[in-house]
Structure 1
Amino acid sequence: MLKRSDEIERREGSFKKLFEQTRTNLTSDMEAKREELTQLQGKLERPSIAFHAHHVADLVLDTTDEIIIFSKSLINEGTGYDTSTGLFTAPVGGLYQFSVHTCVYIGEYAFIGLVLEGKVIAADMNYGNAQYPCSAFAAIARVKSGEKVWVKSTSSGSNRQLFQNSERMITFSGMLVNN
């Protein structure tokens, strides 16, 4: 009887030890899965990043590589666009879409580039051979957090001048498509 009782206690101890190991493993696995789900949830939540700026105070493009500053912002979700410098700084990394719309005076030119960290990624040339013509161009780019995007004059001269009025707005806009 004592022998049997010792055997039962030994088996009970083994079962308790096995149960504790199983409970510890399950708890560890559940914590790892919870952390994994939290990380996935963070990736699924896309921040709202978008801006639409207009109004250029200096319409004369007399300096090559001059940043064109759009001083008014209709929307600036994520506060990435700075109306005082004309620079968009990506608050988060991801795939962005940018667009630029310009107009020129009759008989004038505009050579404009969309720039990502010093490299022109899209460009346009507009010539005013009609009634204040406008043109637009766009680009999609992968932008890292903290990188800057801007619009600049890619060619200067006395006949390089933008035009804007209440019917023809010069604009620069962008938005996060996917992060």
Structure 2
Amino acid sequence: MRFSLFFSFVIVFGIYSYNFSEAREPVCSKFAYEEQLLEKMIRTEIKVESMVNEVKKTEDNVIRTLSDIKRAVSDFTDMFADMKENITDEMLKRSDEIERREESFKILFEETRTNLTSDMKAKREELTQLQGKPPIAFHVHHVADLVLDKADEIVIFTKSLINEGTGYDTSTGIFTAPVGGLYQFSVHSCVPQRGHAFIGLVLEGKVIAADVNYDDVFHTCSAFGAIARVKSGEKVWVKSTSSSSSRQLYQDQYRMITFSGMLVNN
């Protein structure tokens, strides 16, 4: 519509210009007048056509420029959308990773807290049980049979000075652990002049410490011991490791044969 108004304006302007020029030019004849009018109209039409072509070119350029701008804006919009989508995807991935790590940390923390709580509870119960129980310790002496003439003969101590926990039996010479744990044992033995004694400390049939005692001039004594982990119900005793009629122990008011033990830690 704008083009049509412009074209009408050009036609009117051309006719007005023609009439103005016609009024100023002398008219020689009717034929000359029509010829001049036709010539002017042709020139005007040519100018109008040229102007129309220029306007069309300008309009095409404007339309092409607008299309380029629109295409550029569309490309930028698409590129921005892609960038936004990529950034959003990356942020979602990072967010998921953070959530997974946070969940793993929570699980690990909860497991650690549960384990620590359980361990502390078990330790408290163990301490409570220990506090409610008497200590385990014994110290015995006096051997009725001093001659070690039998193989693997158990040395029986018949008198007890301490027997906390009643683990030692003076009739059998055997200590039975009331509770499991780490125990310390010691044996003190004496032999007469020119006498021999081969004795050992036994845990469940296995010798865990041993001693040989002899002196050619005096009655003499020696001591040995061991630290061992003993399970609840396991047995410990002292025995001869070499039997003979010459193998014997000695005791008097100055020399005591003793066997002792105590629970160090369970």
Q: Tell me, in whole angstroms, the C-alpha distance in 1 between the residues paired with 2:217 and 2:138.
A: 30
Shift of 1:39: 2.3
Higher fraction of strand: 1
Match of 1:99 among 171, 181, 186: 186
Q: Which residue of 2 aligns with 1:125?
A: 212
Shift of 1:43: 2.5
Q: Which residue of 2 aligns with 1:144?
A: 231
Match of 2:167 among 80, 90, 101: 80
TM-score (ref. length: structure 2): 0.53
Q: Tell me, in whole angstroms, the C-alpha distance in 2 between the residues paired with 1:160 and 1:36.
A: 52
Q: Which residue of 1 aligns with 2:123?
A: 40
Q: Tell me, in whole angstroms, the C-alpha distance in 2 between the residues paired with 1:76 and 1:42.
A: 25
Summarize deviations over 1:4-27 as a string: whole Å, max 9, x none: xxxxxxxxxxxxxxxxxxxxxxxx
Superposed counterparts of 1:147-166, under 5 Å? 147-166=234-253
Q: Tell me, in whole angstroms, the C-alpha distance in 2 between the residues paired with 1:83 and 1:129.
A: 32
Shift of 1:36: 5.5
Larger radius of gyration: 2
> Secondary structure, in 3 states, of the residue corresponding to 1:58?
coil
Q: Which residue of 2 aligns with 1:8?
A: none
Superposed counterparts of 1:41-60, under 5 Å? 41-44=124-127, 46=130, 47=133, 48-60=135-147
Shift of 1:130: 3.0
* Counterpart code for 2:252: N
Aligned residues with identical type, % of pairs: 71
Q: Which residue of 2 aligns with 1:68?
A: 155
Shift of 1:156: 0.8
Q: Tell me, in whole angstroms, the C-alpha distance in 2 between the residues paired with 1:177 and 1:130.
A: 38
Q: Which runs of no fewer than 5 residues in structure 1 stay unpaired?
A: 1-28
Q: Tell me, in whole angstroms, the C-alpha distance in 1 between the residues paired with 2:223 and 2:217.
A: 16
> Secondary structure, in 3 states, of the residue corresponding to 1:121?
strand
Q: Which residue of 2 aligns with 1:9?
A: none
Larger relative CO (CA 8 A, sep 6+): 1 or 2? 1
Higher fraction of helix: 2
Aligned length in residues: 149
Q: Which residue of 1 aligns with 2:265?
A: 178
Shift of 1:128: 2.9
Task: Report the RMSD for the aligned CA atoms in angstroms.
Answer: 1.9
Q: Which residue of 2 aligns with 1:169?
A: 256
Q: Which residue of 2 aligns with 1:134?
A: 221
> Secondary structure, in 3 states, of the residue corresponding to 2:123?
helix
> Secondary structure, in 3 states, of the residue corresponding to 2:210?
strand
